[in-house]
């Protein structure tokens, strides 16, 4: 009798083990945050238009505790000074290259890339700007809805950038842009802007746009946003960056996005 009871117990144990869910079913249901090593998404923020000002706003951006990329417009009194200061403070610097717009194109005429220029003039102008900013590791377009839609200009620009090992961020100031596709075809590291943060210069609107960027970063793993050197943009980033870092988002330089 004891033998029969023991045999029945063994059979029950073996049957129970075979009915346990396979270990792989538990792996499939692991949360995304654990699979990505506690990083919910990578956020790249580029702040345009440095060079115009040297005040509490520009200094405020240099005190933000995050890996941010600062785009400096050439040709202004504070351009070179700010680029050097940003680099010394551990931020990434790129050239905010003036380019011709389909609308009224303002400022920086002596640096601007236009469709009326010869190929040699375009190349020379880009070379000059790169030499002025040794800290810069890349470039994005300032305005440029007409220039970034021009394949000839983008081809010439890509040649110079590739020669110097610089990347390009397509700010996408027009849906007609060929900048990103041209850079990729020519072997220049590149990525597009996903969200503009401050087209409306109001803190509540900037915050809304920032969280659109956050949502995109969480859904696809990486998102690129562009803002401007303005007090409202600074204040929103000052308030929200610590929260986003606490929530598991990681701020990255633009160079991370183009790899």
Kindly report the pTM of this predicted structure.
0.85
CATH number, position 56 = 3.20.20.370
Query: Containing domain of residue 227, as a range?
Result: 38-257
Per-residue pLDDT reduced to its tens digit, 129-149? 999 999 999 999 999 999 999
In a domain, 9, yes or no: no
pLDDT at 36: 55
In a domain, 8, yes or no: no
DSSP-assigned letters across all residues of the chain: -HHHHHHHHHHHHHHHHHTSPPHHHHHHTS-HHHHTTT--EEEEEEEEEETS--SHHHHHHTT-SS--EEEE-TTSTTHHHHHHHHHHTT-EEEEEEEE--SS---S-TTT-B-TTS-HHHHHHHHHHHHHH-TT--EEEEEE-TTGGG-HHHHHHHHHHHHHHT-EEEE--SSTT--HHHHHHHTT--EEE--EES-SS--HHHHHHHHHHHHHHHHHHSEEEEEEES-HHHHHHHHHHHHHHHHTTEEEE-HHHHT-
In a domain, 5, yes or no: no
**What is the Cα 129 distance to its own chain's centre?**
22
Query: pLDDT: is 175 or 1 the higher one?
Result: 175
Nearest to 121 by CA among 90, 157, 72: 157
pLDDT at 108: 81
In a domain, 13, yes or no: no
In a domain, 23, yes or no: no
pLDDT at 37: 66
pLDDT at 230: 98
**What is the Cα 94 distance to its own chain's centre?**
12
Give the torsion sign (CA, 10, 12, 18, 22). negative
In a domain, 116, yes or no: yes
Per-residue pLDDT reduced to its tens digit, 54-104? 899 999 999 999 999 999 999 999 999 999 999 999 999 999 999 999 987
Neighbours of 202 (CB within 10 A): 11
The structural domain count of the chain equals 1
Query: pLDDT: is 55 or 7 the higher one?
Result: 55
In a domain, 60, yes or no: yes
> Confidence band (pLDDT; 50, 70, 90) for 231?
very high
By the 8 A CB rule, do 72 and 93 touch? yes
Taking the C-alpha atoms of residue 71 and residue 136, their distance in angstroms, rounded to an integer, is 9
In a domain, 64, yes or no: yes
Taking the C-alpha atoms of residue 151 and residue 159, their distance in angstroms, rounded to an integer, is 12
Phi, psi of 128 (to 5 degrees): -60, -45
pLDDT at 18: 34
């Amino acid at each position: 009798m004891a033998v029969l009871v023991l045999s029945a117990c063994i059979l029950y144990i073996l049957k129970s083990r075979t009915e346990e869910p396979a270990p792989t079913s538990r792996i499939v249901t692991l949360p995304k945050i654990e699979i990505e090593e506690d990083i919910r998404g990578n956020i790249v923020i580029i702040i345009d238009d440095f060079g115009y000002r040297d005040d509490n706003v520009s200094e405020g951006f240099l005190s933000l505790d995050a890996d941010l990329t600062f785009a400096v417009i050439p040709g202004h009194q504070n351009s070179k000074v700010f680029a050097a200061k940003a680099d010394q403070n551990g931020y990434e610097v790129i050239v905010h290259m003036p380019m011709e717009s389909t609308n009224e194109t303002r400022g920086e005429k002596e640096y601007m890339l236009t469709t009326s220029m010869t190929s040699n003039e375009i190349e020379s102008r880009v070379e000059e700007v790169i030499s002025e900013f040794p800290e810069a590791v890349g470039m994005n377009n300032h305005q440029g809805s007409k220039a970034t839609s021009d394949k000839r200009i983008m081809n010439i620009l890509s040649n110079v950038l590739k020669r110097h090992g610089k990347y390009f961020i397509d700010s996408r100031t027009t849906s007609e842009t060929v900048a990103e596709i041209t850079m990729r075809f020519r072997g220049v590291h590149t990525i597009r802007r996903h969200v503009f943060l401050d087209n409306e210069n109001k803190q509540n609107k900037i915050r809304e746009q920032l969280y659109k960027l956050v949502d995109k970063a969480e859904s696809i793993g990486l998102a690129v946003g562009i803002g401007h050197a303005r007090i409202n943009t600074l204040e929103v980033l000052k308030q929200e960056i610590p929260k986003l870092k606490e929530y598991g988002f990681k701020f990255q330089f633009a160079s991370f996005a183009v790899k």
